[in-house]
Structure 1
């Protein structure tokens, strides 16, 4: 039986009686620890940037991005994946989150799912992951059997592998093309890796997906030009984006948005080139979805 007490993420930070503190004292204590997370992430920026480059390369060549984890780590991967279609206008199959125990485990823990190496392998096999894809293994401890099995299977299929953990002496790094180790130290609530470790993983995931999408041309300047106008708020955002990038009036932006069926990328190209919607859409397609390349 492995001695988990040696893992940083399982250690007790100090002998403090949390249950005797006031609410303000508790949140101040947590806030002081949370301040350390960004500095821990900062130390891993070169590796995170390398991972962004790897993801960009794979997606640019028709591959897919998979996040895989158990418990909190798995839920964070699913959260990041689910945000990509509305934010960047991607197909839901491009970035996918996989959690030990399946969809049921998103809301409720599935007993022993994370302990199965074979289940991790099966979940990779089910999705026909191959050489063109990239798999990001998420495990705060760095040694979750489910994640190890998934990474081993991904590696056997020649997929690119990236790992994110919060322990120095982790196991998953040994299976990674790029290993990201964000050392946030013990948790305020001993062993509760949904706290600092979870925050660190979320910050890294934000960088991986956002960085890759920027590199793929899904962003123009610092605007979410590929956002899907699925409700009134987002329809108005599309108009504002058109106005900010082309200096047209609100009425003109509204007309351009309508002609482009709510696609800000197409509307911006129309405004900057004088093309109609169909020609702008073809130009965008020939530029791999990058507005800047299309306009240039």
Structure 2
């Protein structure tokens, strides 16, 4: 087994780990942790590309466009995960962030043999969403050669959408198809070819960055407070009350009344308290400012 140079391809075999199955459990834990530690630095080398992608996506998102991820296997599941967490975290509208996975929903829990090899299926999935110029489509593939992701990105480009790729190899076919390639090269995996490891971690970090930065720029937070969170359970309702109290300095009863009048919306409750207005007036004011709480508060002369 020959030593592969670090930071080469996702399929490389690293001879350093040839005796992996002879290691103790403690040695395995330490070795795996050392390997995982290279991921954040690899992502750090691509922050400019990530920022450029978000900036390119923002005009379309502000105009009603969507952020769409397309991938297969682990990459596809990570895209679906990121998309599914945006509504409760940022109160995104239905379908604003979408995860497409080769093989459909069944592939979230089971391997669908051959699904990733169907480029036409990726293109059809994009076409079924009627993707257009206001949308952003991100192909996600550790190898950068997954036909499903490539087909999705090429179809999106044909439809004049903004396109991007996340891969863990440089110079991939997927990157060549995208306007905004993001190549996070983490080197050979601890278990050769198992891209659910470092490559999957890198993809998760980049997806977190894309969606979170986009939502912050869209006004879905106030400072670092989750003011658009959906108060759908006890924990989140308490978080809303805490956020409203932190921003306004109001007492518990005033906070409770404002949150109840705002139907659980932290933004509306905050603006109604600090702006001295009803919940309906606060909603109207927020609508005038595209839902951006800071802009609405600045108009009332209040700020945090």
Q: Same fold (TM over 0.5)?
A: yes
When normalised by structure 2's length, the TM-score is 0.94
Give the Å deviation of 1:45: 0.4
| Cross-structure match for 1:202 | 204
8 A contact 2:134–2:161 mirrored in 1: yes
| Cross-structure match for 1:186 | 188
Deviations 1:73-130 (A, max 9, x none): 0000000000000000112310000000000000001110000111111111111111
Give the Å deviation of 1:7: 6.6
| Cross-structure match for 2:12 | 11
8 A contact 1:120–1:147 mirrored in 2: yes
8 A contact 1:184–1:196 mirrored in 2: yes
Give the Å deviation of 1:142: 0.6
8 A contact 1:7–1:141 mirrored in 2: no
Q: For structure 2, list consecutive stretches of 5 or more residues without a partner in the other structure.
A: 1-6, 299-304
8 A contact 2:59–2:134 mirrored in 1: no
Give the Å deviation of 1:240: 0.1
Distance in structure 1 (CA, Å) of the matches to 2:142 and 2:30? 24
Distance in structure 2 (CA, Å) of the matches to 1:89 and 1:10? 39
Picking from 44, 55, 58, the partner of 1:56 is: 58
Distance in structure 2 (CA, Å) of the matches to 1:96 and 1:54? 18
| Cross-structure match for 1:247 | 249
Written as runs of structure 1 = structure 2, the 5 A alignment for 1:229-248 is: 229-248=231-250
Distance in structure 2 (CA, Å) of the matches to 1:115 and 1:204? 24
Written as runs of structure 1 = structure 2, the 5 A alignment for 1:126-141 is: 126-141=128-143
Q: For structure 1, list consecutive stretches of 5 or more residues without a partner in the other structure.
A: 1-5
8 A contact 2:67–2:96 mirrored in 1: yes
8 A contact 1:114–1:146 mirrored in 2: yes
1:30 aligns with 2:32: yes
Give the Å deviation of 1:55: 2.0
Distance in structure 1 (CA, Å) of the matches to 2:99 and 2:233? 25
Distance in structure 2 (CA, Å) of the matches to 1:62 and 1:54? 14
Distance in structure 2 (CA, Å) of the matches to 1:61 and 1:82? 21
Distance in structure 2 (CA, Å) of the matches to 1:56 and 1:132? 9
Distance in structure 2 (CA, Å) of the matches to 1:185 and 1:28? 18
Picking from 281, 284, 290, the partner of 1:282 is: 284
8 A contact 1:121–1:150 mirrored in 2: yes
Distance in structure 2 (CA, Å) of the matches to 1:158 and 1:188? 39
Runs of 4+ in 1 over 4 A off after TM superposition: none
| Cross-structure match for 2:123 | 121
Distance in structure 2 (CA, Å) of the matches to 1:278 and 1:15? 64
8 A contact 1:82–1:92 mirrored in 2: no
Give the Å deviation of 1:176: 1.2
